[in-house]
Structure 1
Amino acid sequence: MSQFGKVAVLMGGRSAERQISLKSGMAVLKALAGAGIDAHAFDPFSQPLNDLLDGHFDRVFIAMHGRGGEDGQVQGALELLDLPYTGSGVLGCALAMDKARTKQIWQGVGLPTASSRIITSGQEFDAEAVLAELGGKVMVKPAHEGSSIGMSSASSAAHLKAAVATAGMFDTQVLIERWLNGPEYTVAILQDQALPAIRLKTSHEFYDYEAKYQSTDTEYLCPAGLSAADESALQELAVAAFKALDGRNWGRIDVMCDDNGDMFLLEANMVPGMTEKSLVPMAAKQHGLSFTDLVLRILAQTEA
């Protein structure tokens, strides 16, 4: 494993997803160390990035979620430091972190995504008209957050205004989307190949923060129970969505169906969760890759 040299595992940071990132980073660090790699934890919250040069690191495994780690900022800094890093580049990360622009790009290339409106936090808007335009029930989310932070549903004008205010606590841009009732899936991408899809089943109204990280009854079905044709169509859609955002190496695409079973793209994740129980490792396991195998494949792509 000496080919990789000294590896920094970036984790933590300052985003709202800091605690999740620390868990991902420690799982990655444990796997790398277990494989005999000279890997070290590095938290930009308490260490200046310049310490990467002073510490003579050869490459970086990014396990930082959310702003600062998944939005192109740290990717740009690492390019200035001339340090190879895992995952997508500045453009892909910046686009994927912005849910509003992600949707606009997908729509522009003809990929399916739910109808929506973008509201600036604090902006006056006709809640009744927005609800009528988007079908009577909507999902409201901050445009630049992950892990379902700040998300809520609304089916009345009062609830919509409250939901926009909640999302506005995390972002100046708020995305309001038509509510989708069908099953939800996620597809991991590794080396431009789609891994087996996972179906997400929750007793909650939607796959919220609690369902993701705290609930004991959330189900993850992999195989997802789709026909071979539907699985293939879902994987092709995910790869097309990933490439449209200039994604590279690895990531994850979330998809949801409507009542008719039609698939709609939700969002892209360029630095997905990487704990032993996260979704990408789950799909990789179904594909025949251990957690360590997965981590090594992701790290190896810094060679490109």
Structure 2
Amino acid sequence: MKKKLVVGLTYDLKTDYEHEPGEPVDKYAEFDKEDTIAVIENALKEGGHQVIRIGNGKKLLDFLVGKKEKVDIIFNIAEGINTRSREAQVPAILDMLEIPYVGSDPLTQTLTLDKLMAKKIVAYHNLPTPKFVLVNEISDLENFKLSFPVIVKLRYEGTSKGLDKGAKTNNFSEMKKRVQWALGTYHQPVLVEEFIQGKEFTIGLIGNEEPEVLPVVQIAINGKLDLGEDFYIHSLVESTGVEYICPAKISARLDKKIQEIAKKCYQVLECRDFGR
């Protein structure tokens, strides 16, 4: 008989935070809505487990200090706050206190949030990633040699933060202006990457050393499968203009190649339990 567990649920809710004047509108874009937490909670309960909602990292500390209830394991989807290692905050606390948890460890959480380090690791293992330039300050654009168009991305963000239609630039002048805006608005380094035109996919994996690769999901924007010059931007995250198609409408050969690359990336980044 499967053991019933007491599962603590850690997460960041959008409603727990308020924008301060001058902050980017997408500062808390990675955080979840109540309905997402409810879906996870209900799934765990349907599996026969007891669920204790804990919340974000600070609430976890209060929970652990109070010791009012004991959990067998933490189901962690907390994003953390403030730093480039924010996704490692909850796992680091749990590691230190030897509390079991679901999801990747602090090192992998930090490396995968950092686009530069993640790209270096996958490139070392001969996995494909677009050519790029790291920009800490505008002078780093001297002797720029990438081919246009290029796309300007924030180094330490997810959920398409910092991405709108202006992120793709077609010449040096446009690119420099965009880089200046990103550096000044988000106060972190940016990556300038060669833009990859075409179709967009996402893929989930479950497991550890030999993960199960889930079906490929294709992203359609405004009904288009071949996106051309379009790409996934922040304003589309919750838009009705985006459709997620699963299984993807692609050839068996391409499907296999995407799954193979995703699995290798998951493994070389040493992801654990689940990822996308």
TM-score range, shorter chain: 0.7 to 0.9
Which of the numbers 244, 258, 269 marks the counterpart of 1:234? Answer: 258
Amino acid at match of 2:152: V
5 Å-filtered alignment, 1:134-153, equals 134-151=146-163, 152-153=167-168
2:129 maps to: 113
What is the CA deviation profile of residues 187-228 of structure 1, one whole-angstrom value per residue up to 9, with x for unaligned ones? 110121111101112148311112121x21212121112222
5 Å-filtered alignment, 1:55-74, equals 55-65=69-79, 71-74=87-90
Whether contact under 8 Å (1:61, 1:85) holds in the other structure is: yes
Whether contact under 8 Å (1:25, 1:63) holds in the other structure is: no
SS at 2:101 equivalent: coil
2:216 maps to: 197
Relative contact order higher in (CA < 8 Å, ≥ 6 apart): 1
Q: Paired residues, what number?
A: 247
TM-aligned CA distance change 1:44 to 1:223, over 3 Å: closer
What is the CA deviation profile of residues 101-132 of structure 1, one whole-angstrom value per residue up to 9, with x for unaligned ones? 10011111110110001111x442337x53xx
SS at 1:216 equivalent: coil
Whether contact under 8 Å (1:140, 1:153) holds in the other structure is: yes
Which of the numbers 75, 86, 101 marks the counterpart of 2:91? Answer: 75
SS at 1:91 equivalent: helix
5 Å-filtered alignment, 1:72-221, equals 72-120=88-136, 122-126=137-141, 129-130=143-144, 133-151=145-163, 152-168=167-183, 169-191=185-207, 192-203=211-222, 205-213=230-238, 215-221=239-245
Once the two structures are TM-superposed, the CA of residue 251 in structure 1 deviates from its matched residue by 0.2
Q: Structure 1: how far apart are the matches of 2:159 and 2:115?
A: 13
Amino acid at match of 1:106: V
SS at 2:53 equivalent: strand
Q: Structure 1: how far apart are the matches of 2:204 and 2:126?
A: 21
Relative to the length of structure 2, the TM-score reads 0.80
Q: Structure 2: how far apart are the matches of 1:251 and 1:72?
A: 15
Whether contact under 8 Å (2:29, 2:159) holds in the other structure is: yes
Q: Structure 1: how far apart are the matches of 2:4 and 2:92?
A: 21
Whether contact under 8 Å (1:21, 1:65) holds in the other structure is: no
1:3 maps to: 3
Which range moved further: 229-238 or 13-22?
Answer: 13-22
1:272 maps to: none
Once the two structures are TM-superposed, the CA of residue 64 in structure 1 deviates from its matched residue by 1.9
2:21 maps to: none
Q: Structure 1: how far apart are the matches of 2:34 and 2:186?
A: 20
Amino acid at match of 1:101: M
SS at 2:94 equivalent: helix
5 Å-filtered alignment, 1:280-299, equals none
Whether contact under 8 Å (2:10, 2:76) holds in the other structure is: yes
TM-aligned CA distance change 1:165 to 1:113, over 3 Å: same
Whether contact under 8 Å (2:57, 2:90) holds in the other structure is: no
TM-aligned CA distance change 1:31 to 1:171, over 3 Å: farther
Q: Structure 1: how far apart are the matches of 2:233 and 2:262?
A: 21
Once the two structures are TM-superposed, the CA of residue 45 in structure 1 deviates from its matched residue by 5.7
Structural RMSD (CA) = 2.5
Structure 2, gaps ≥5 residues long = 18-26
Once the two structures are TM-superposed, the CA of residue 177 in structure 1 deviates from its matched residue by 0.6
Q: Structure 1: how far apart are the matches of 2:57 and 2:110?
A: 20
TM-aligned CA distance change 1:48 to 1:233, over 3 Å: closer
SS at 2:241 equivalent: coil
SS at 2:102 equivalent: coil
Once the two structures are TM-superposed, the CA of residue 71 in structure 1 deviates from its matched residue by 2.9
Q: Structure 1: how far apart are the matches of 2:33 and 2:120?
A: 28
